[in-house]
Amino acid sequence: PLTSTSSRIMESIKKEAHLMKVQWNKENKYQVSCSLGDQCVVDVVSMTCSCRKWELKRIPCKHVVATCWNMALNDQAAPPPET
């Protein structure tokens, strides 16, 4: 279970993730971008994002959440939401 602070952070991340565009980028990698030019690469096997927020904060970033949603829409297994 998430703490109330973590829950608030995740809700904010989910709102931002709705604005992301996700494209499969080969094998287990996805390119995630937004209208402001922010682009990152999410590797679902190594559980990393090029923005490094997932690794540093130990909470999935907006790019990872958007990728998980995209994978779910395409009937692909997504990584666990929490590490």
Determine the residue type at 51: C
Task: Report the mean per-residue pLDDT for the chain.
Answer: 88
DSSP H helices in 1-83: 4-17, 53-57, 62-73
Is residue 26 pLDDT above 90, yes or no? no
Question: Which range among 10-19, 31-40, 43-52, 69-78 shows the weakest confidence by mean pLDDT?
Answer: 69-78
